[in-house]
Amino acid sequence: MKQTRMITHKLMAMAIALVMGSCSSDVLSDMGQESQGKHTTKMEFVGKVIGFDQQVSTKAKMQSRAASSSTSWKDGDKIYITFYNGTNIIPGEATYSSTSGWSVSYDGDLATGSNLKCEARYFVNATFTSSSLVSLNSNSEIYEDLNATYAYSNGSLTVTATLSPKTGRIRLTGKAGEKIYTTGISVYTTFAPAINTFSTSNAIITSTVASNGSTPYIYGYFTDDDRSLGLVGSDYAFTRTCTSSMFNKGESGYMAIPSEASHNNWRSGLYVKASGVEFKMIPVAGLESGFFLMAETETTEALYKSVNGTSSTSQLPVDAVSYSEISSFIEKLNNETKLTFSLPSAEQWKYAAKGGNKSQNYTYAGSNTPGDVAWYAANCTSKQKVKTKAPNELGIYDMSGNVGEIRLGEYYDHGDYYIDSYGGNYKSSSSSIGINSYVENRRDYNTFSGVGFRLILTCK
């Protein structure tokens, strides 16, 4: 009996201790929310959105939207909020209703107090795939405040933020209905609230010029100060050297599509930089199978070796490479630039060699006199630097002579390739360097001195 009373006294003491402990400040700080799990609560949102004035043709006019005003938001508008509770990150998704205001769902426990750290993000022209992913594109506007604050106590939540543009924007003027492609700009593609992370892409951006003569705004950024803005249409390509200061947050630039007569600080042709080596692509229009760009020169040793990890400045055309080695190089180049380079088909090569829609029907690529445009057996005994003879009508060099150029291979039924090389080389006679000259049926594992390749780029 005595033992029973002692156990009872101990249990009572433990209960009292637990009750007393539950009044500690640590536990009080979580009153008003369940511990862990998904929560939903009303939210007051205080602050403003600094937006873009779509009508301004030079720079964005900073216009404020009062974030707490009931007339400023539309049903379904969302703000993603990353709450911080010590070292813990709590993702939240706030949704606006015209009848009930803001409510926020969050996963975890908020700290109690005021002036607590959070981040807030607001998206326009985005797709809310789910609470775990926001899908973005080149026309998506992103506004954020990385130094927002929240106050939370007894179930009452207030978020204070000034949401300002995360990306700059650019607008190009052209002909209505014209499809244009831009390179050199990075854009955000997704945002994952749960891990507070953006993903990005610097692939080709496709836009169509609207009826007012301008593309939709492209929202993006330059990752460094020497990236080039590339602009490609159905029969032109231009490049403009840009700096990050030209594309600041909130920048609104109308950039006129240049012409051959008026470049407006653009260079003619699409310039691409890979592994520190810049090369030029020239548009080839008018082929029934579709528009493409062809490299101004044969692939140089500098480009080939640099992309493969060995620094070089040699302007000699690379040769004695197998089809498999060429394919590996192109794959590395595409991975680095996020573009779609390939070898030309026979049709593409011949069309570009004869001068495309500017053809003068010359025997050789750019002239009826071989020595004007070609290195061949009559004037050299080895391959020569690219661009040391005259170009053809499109501005493309060495399509006759210097090194032969492998075209895109086609499979035999038994697994080998048809691999032809076009244009002849420095060992060829004048009769073998015309625009229709080729050597056929090489194997993919063969390498030949005097045989290299030239790149094309397709825009999709």
Per-residue pLDDT tens digits for 9-18: 433 343 333 3
pLDDT digits (tens, 9 = 90+) for 366-391: 999 999 999 999 999 999 999 999 99
What the chain holds in terms of domains, given with CATH numbers, is: 39-53+71-165 (2.60.40), 277-459 (3.90.1580.10)
How far apart are the two ends of the chain, measured CA to CA in Å? 89
- What one-letter code names the amino acid at 403? V
On whether the CB atoms of residues 289 and 408 are closer than 8 A, the answer is no
Residue 41 has pLDDT above 60, yes or no: yes
What is the pairing mode between strands 404-406 and 451-453? parallel
d(CA 412, CA 179): 37
On whether the CB atoms of residues 451 and 338 are closer than 8 A, the answer is no
pLDDT digits (tens, 9 = 90+) for 118-164: 999 999 999 988 668 999 999 999 999 999 999 999 999 999 999 98
Average pLDDT over residues 100-118: 95
Give phi and psi for 189, each to the nearest 5: -110, -35
Give phi and psi for 449, each to the nearest 5: -65, 140
Average pLDDT over residues 34-39: 68
Query: Exposed, middle or buried: residue 189 (CB in 10 Å: 0-12, 13-18, 19+)?
Result: middle
Residues with Cβ within 8 Å of 451's Cβ and at least 6 positions away in sequence, in order, are 319, 320, 403, 404, 405, 406, 421, 425, 442
What is the pairing mode between strands 252-256 and 168-173? parallel
- Strand partners of residue 113: 152
pLDDT digits (tens, 9 = 90+) for 163-219: 988 888 888 888 899 999 999 889 999 999 989 999 999 889 999 999 998 888 899
Identify the pLDDT of residue 444. Answer: 63
